[in-house]
Structure 1
Amino acid sequence: MSRPVVLTRPIAQAEPLAGRIRALGRAVEVLPLLEITPLPDQAPLRAALAGLADYQLVAFVSPNAVDAAFAHIPGWPEGLRAAVVGEGSRQALIARGVPASQIDCPADPAHSDTEHLLQALDLSALRGARVLIVRGESGRELMADSFRAAGAAVTVLPAYRRAVPQLTPELAARLRALIDADAEWIITSSEALRGLIGLLQQLNNVKIVASLQHQHLIVPHSRIADTARELGCQNVTLTGSGDERVLAALQSRP
């Protein structure tokens, strides 16, 4: 009998991939390791997005950023370019009517991060341009700093809040059961992985953390793989961005 698969994406993006994994005959546990919530005050978000056509480039750092923004975008302005760091965000934009030809992303799906997005963009063309970055309340400053260094006028727009869930008795029981089942874990952010380790440490059982460190982790980005190894995880598969690659990694193992 195959091991269960734990899908740790935020709940809004989890079900489509979970359904495809079930279609492979695998048992799936959807266990969001980051809770995504709207900002209490939506007025600044609505105001900034009302002037979307005034920008020359809009960058979305994640599918969550796309979801939060499009709650206030009735239609994508004609000719406006978008930039994303991963395949999930690119597909989310296409699903909302943004033409694929207007979306910039890293050339290599195995390196879906800000560094490789910046390499894919013509930064010199952004001199004097207005650029909007849609992200969570906190995040890396590399993208904004690089656009400003290229001469762009950059607005960073917080669109949502993320947090590791609280360790309830129910969550503690689920974590213990999944560790005991020797599951395969699909981890989609470094923050989520650190949160998982933190939750397991709260169980006050060193063996549980050690057990996770030996279980199979499937990660889409090299930065997450590096984080996993820093945290002592020894069995890490780097797939590159996109659900197809995650599914292929699951199918390649017995």
Structure 2
Amino acid sequence: MSRWRLLLTRPAEESRLLAQTLAAGGHYGSALPMLVIEPLVLGKAPAPGWLQRFAAVIVVSKPAAHLSLSWLSPDPAAALPRWFAVGAATAEVLRLGGINASFPTQGDDSEALWQLPELVLALKAGGNRALIIRGEGGREWLAERLIEQGVEVEYLELYRRGVPDYPANAVAERLQAERLNGVVVSSGQGLEHLHRLAGAAWPVLAALPLFVPSARVASLAQALGSRCPVNCHGASNAALIAALATRSP
């Protein structure tokens, strides 16, 4: 059976866990993160009752989920607003912290969440105010759709996404030294960073299967010259494993 040897570009901890999952299936993952998560320095956390102003709390990423649990310290036993996650992986982080969040089962992106009936019902039942928990400048598409429907949107920005500092030839050397035959990206911003940092090695990367979480990122990959983007229909490890099984290296 052919095995994948993948360049993993997710943030460091996510790439580490993904490499373990891949190894259990006989595949190899080489971590070269293209996003550095930098928590923002915030003031004192608001009182628990602050969340009651919102009909829906929308968490757009795993880093946002981790940081919201530690900064907000929501009490699962309290009367909380309805929580939503962009995808299954983000919802799982919240679940482990005691928060049950609704999420779309088909797709891990803003478009899929926007179609979720539970979100529409929550906003109708609890008042038209939503809190989006995110990194700096993320998920504008979803906020725009909510505002168009008369929803009052507030943001809680808990981190920024930095660009890692690698030597100019780091990507090329990794590809050659470890004989990699595929690439995994988890977001459009991570893909843009990869394109920038790859430099002269980008045409080599563009010829490899590029596993992406959504149709939106697949379109971005094609615009950048990728010849073989593979839509995993989700950003979870399970979605990637399922996509790998449909292709040969």
TM-score by shorter chain over 0.5:
yes
Partner SS, residue 71 of structure 2 = coil
How far has the Cα of 1:50 moved from its partner?
6.5
Q: Is the 8 A contact 1:220 1:240 kept in 2?
A: yes
**CA distance, structure 2, for counterparts of residue 240 and residue 226 of structure 1:** 13
How far has the Cα of 1:82 moved from its partner?
0.9
Partner SS, residue 70 of structure 1 = helix
What residue is the counterpart of 2:113 in the other structure? Answer: 117
Q: Is the 8 A contact 1:144 1:156 kept in 2?
A: no
Which digits, 9 at most, give the CA deviation of each residue in 1:44-84, with x for residues without a partner? 6x237662233221001111110111112332344531112
**CA distance, structure 1, for counterparts of residue 229 and residue 47 of structure 2:** 40
Do residues 193 (structure 1) and 191 (structure 2) align?
yes
**CA distance, structure 2, for counterparts of residue 130 and residue 49 of structure 1:** 17
What residue is the counterpart of 2:214 in the other structure? Answer: 221
What residue is the counterpart of 2:246 in the other structure? Answer: 252
Provide closer, same or farther for how the CA distance between residues 143 and 186 of structure 1 changes in structure 2, counting only shifts above 3 A: same
Q: Which runs of 4+ in 1 moved over 6 A?
A: none
Percent identity, please.
29
What residue is the counterpart of 2:10 in the other structure? Answer: 9
Count of aligned positions: 239
**Alpha carbon RMSD of aligned pairs, Å?**
2.3
**CA distance, structure 2, for counterparts of residue 29 and residue 210 of structure 1:** 19
What residue is the counterpart of 1:69 in the other structure? Answer: 68
Q: Structure 1: which 5+ residue stretches go unaligned?
A: none
Q: Is the 8 A contact 2:46 2:72 kept in 1?
A: no
How far has the Cα of 1:188 moved from its partner?
0.5
What residue is the counterpart of 1:33 in the other structure? Answer: 34
**CA distance, structure 1, for counterparts of residue 47 and residue 154 of structure 2:** 9
What residue is the counterpart of 2:173 in the other structure? Answer: 177
> TM-score normalised to the size of structure 2?
0.86
Do residues 235 (structure 1) and 228 (structure 2) align?
yes
**CA distance, structure 2, for counterparts of residue 244 and residue 55 of structure 1:** 32
> TM-score normalised to the size of structure 1?
0.84
> Amino acid of the residue matched to residue 135 of structure 1?
R
